[in-house]
């Protein structure tokens, strides 16, 4: 499990580590890891042109010490000092290794191979000062490596408030931070590289946000026992589709009918039911289920679909048109809104949800006493107890019509197979993203192709190939 911790917890763990190490050893570990990551990005050091943007704190110190290592390997390293204060030992080390430092932005050659963002670290406030903004603008287009977090983001919430660095690579230390996993800041991080500092897990405490990894998904995925039969493996029902949106029923059923349960039932208009069964002959009609998927493409019938599904007293996946008819707590169920749908449910603007998805997902989970899967670049799954998981699988091509219908069907199947709602939502989101990556192969995809690739992703994950 990848875990992201709050700033205060990270600082406490770092203090505990420093008490057990020689003075400056922790910074040396960080600098060595940072320098190695920059070398890997550049493909070597000799003759490369590196600029350090150096702020007043330890973040700037990490950059200076890493710069000294790069200069010692033959790189041409310059540091732009953006404050009257700079880490003295790091500055001396850079100069001793042949690097140079200046406060004159105009004196710097804009022809660079990489910019290292050491402006502010985890203690910085959102936004950047004018001098930092000017430096970033001067070197626009040069690859940027951020030290710990992109400067200017809100580290503990993932919010953006004012100018900030947009990194190609973020090298973080000890543990991930919330901004690495939560939008919109996560999109500013680029690729992530974690440098192990040997921080104590007990000192770090509980993670604020977690992200499933293949081993976690492998452990959680349902699999049939030696005496399984179709009913014991779980039965999921789908109530979806309308005359306006018949395809939504097909896609929701496709997400459910991927082999993770023993049976899929479809209940909907006769004409759509005929189309569904033509495409999925193993799908049957009304009967007992362990979970319902309700709402994709439901249109004017969505309220009736939701009421009829609730009457069965089983867990629900409430999606799309049915979300607007949620009028009270739904314990044991999963809501799957995108930002616009959640905004409508909460009576706020979509831009507010997009600016602070972590807070709104948590608030919604508490309000409706159920799991909320908030779809986005990094989908968030929140439960009423405050736990949150972020999904880091997937590709931008997944932002396509019908993808959410497939996801709803998949999560419903996992619920029916016996997973708890929090696990069903987060495993479903992970598998959905991984299937999209496989279906895309670097190019466009459609929702139906995502469903087709789900069994192969599950097969590879169970085999330890993910």
For position 466, what pLDDT does the model report?
63
pLDDT in tens, 420-432: 999 999 999 999 9
Residues 26 and 171 in one domain: yes
Instruction: Please give the Cα distance from 200 to 7 (Å, whole number).
Output: 15
Contact 363, 166 (CB under 8 A): no
Instruction: Decide which of 165, 191, 209 is a domain's last residue.
Output: 209
- Calpha distance 199→112 (Å, rounded): 34
Q: Does one domain contain both 341 and 272?
A: yes
One domain, residues 184 and 330: no
- Total domains, the chain: 2
Task: Specify whether 329 is located in the same domain as 190.
Answer: no
The tokens of 169 are what?
A: 């690579």
Query: Among 403, 412, 415, which Cα is nearest to 451's?
Result: 403
Is residue 204 located within the same domain as residue 220?
no
Residues 84 and 182 in one domain: yes
What's the whole-model pTM score?
A: 0.95
Q: Confirm if 358 and 386 have CB atoms less than 8 A apart.
A: no
Do 224 and 198 share a structural domain?
no
Provide the CATH number for the domain around residue 391.
3.40.1190.20
- Choosing from 151, 179, 209, the residue where a domain stops is 209
151 and 270 share one domain:
no
Query: What is the pLDDT, as a whole number, of residue 139?
Result: 97
pLDDT < 50: residue spans in the chain: none
Lookup: tokens for 290: 């362990």
* 331 and 438 within one domain: yes
Domain's final residue, options 187, 209, 231: 209
Q: Which helix (H) or strand (E) holds 374?
A: strand 371-374
Q: How far apart are CA 18 and CA 16, in angstroms?
A: 6
Q: Are residues 183 and 222 in the same domain?
A: no
Please choose, from the candidates 402, 418, 413, 251, the residue with its C-alpha nearest in 3D space to the C-alpha of residue 338.
Answer: 402
How far is Cα 370 from Cα 328, in angstroms, rounded to an integer? 10
Overall residue count recorded for the chain in this entry: 466
Question: CA–CA distance from 420 to each of 93, 314, 417, 428 (Å)?
Answer: 54, 12, 9, 12
Distance CA 370, CA 78 (A): 53
Asked if residue 280 lies in contact with residue 448, where contact means CB atoms within 8 angstroms, the answer is: no
CATH code for position 15: 3.40.50.10260
* 134/35 Cα distance (integer angstroms): 25
Q: What is the pLDDT of residue 405?
A: 98
Same domain, 90 and 234: no
Quote the pLDDT of residue 19.
83
The pLDDT score that the predictor gives to residue 24 is 85
- CA-CA distance, 187 to 240, in Å (whole number)? 33
Same domain, 246 and 261: yes
Element (H, E) at 76: strand 76-81
Domain that holds residue 236: 214-462
CA distance linking residue 294 with residue 272, whole number of Å: 15
């Amino acid at each position: 499990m990848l875990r992201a911790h709050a700033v205060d917890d990270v600082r406490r763990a770092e203090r505990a580590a420093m008490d057990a190490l020689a003075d400056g050893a922790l910074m040396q570990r960080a600098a060595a890891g940072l320098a190695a990551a920059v070398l890997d990005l550049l493909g070597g050091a000799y003759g490369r042109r590196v600029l350090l943007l150096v702020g007043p704190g330890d973040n700037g110190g990490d950059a200076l010490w890493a710069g000294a290592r790069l200069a010692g390997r033959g790189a041409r390293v310059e540091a732009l000092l953006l404050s009257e204060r700079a880490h003295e030992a790091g500055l001396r080390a850079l100069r001793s290794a042949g690097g140079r430092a200046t406060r004159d932005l105009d004196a710097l050659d804009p022809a660079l191979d990489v910019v290292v963002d050491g402006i502010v670290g985890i203690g910085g406030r959102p936004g950047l000062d004018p001098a930092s903004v000017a430096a970033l603008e001067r070197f626009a287009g040069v690859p940027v490596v951020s030290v710990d977090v992109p400067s200017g983001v809100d580290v503990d919430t993932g919010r953006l408030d004012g100018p900030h660095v947009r990194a190609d690579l973020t090298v973080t230390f000890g543990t991930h931070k919330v901004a690495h996993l939560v939008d919109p800041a996560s999109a500013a991080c680029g690729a992530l590289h974690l440098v192990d500092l040997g921080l104590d897990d007990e000192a770090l405490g509980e993670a604020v946000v977690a992200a499933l990894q293949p081993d976690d998904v492998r452990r959680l995925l349902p699999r049939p026992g030696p005496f399984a039969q179709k009913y014991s493996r779980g039965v999921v029902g789908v109530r979806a589709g309308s005359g306006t949106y018949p395809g939504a029923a097909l896609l929701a059923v496709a997400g459910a009918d991927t082999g993770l349960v023993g049976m899929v039932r479809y209940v909907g208009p006769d004409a759509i039911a005929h189309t569904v069964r033509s495409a999925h002959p193993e799908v049957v009609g009304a009967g007992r289920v362990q979970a319902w998927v309700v709402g994709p493409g439901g249109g004017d019938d969505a309220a009736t679909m939701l009421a009829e599904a609730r009457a069965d007293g089983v867990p629900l996946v409430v999606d799309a048109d049915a979300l607007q008819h949620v009028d009270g707590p739904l314990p044991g169920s999963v809501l799957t809104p995108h930002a616009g749908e959640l905004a409508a449910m909460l009576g706020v603007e979509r831009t507010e949800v997009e600016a602070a998805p972590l807070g709104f997902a948590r608030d919604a989970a508490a309000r409706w006493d159920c799991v909320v899967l908030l779809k986005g670049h990094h989908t968030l799954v929140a439960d009423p107890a405050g736990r949150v998981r972020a999904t880091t699988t997937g590709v931008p091509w997944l932002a396509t019509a019908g993808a959410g219908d497939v996801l709803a069907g998949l999560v419903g199947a996992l619920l029916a197979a016996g997973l708890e709602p929090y696990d069903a939502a987060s495993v479903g989101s992970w598998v959905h993203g991984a299937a999209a990556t496989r279906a895309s192969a670097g190019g466009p995809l459609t929702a139906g192709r995502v469903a087709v690739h789900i069994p192969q992703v599950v097969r590879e994950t169970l085999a330890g190939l993910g």
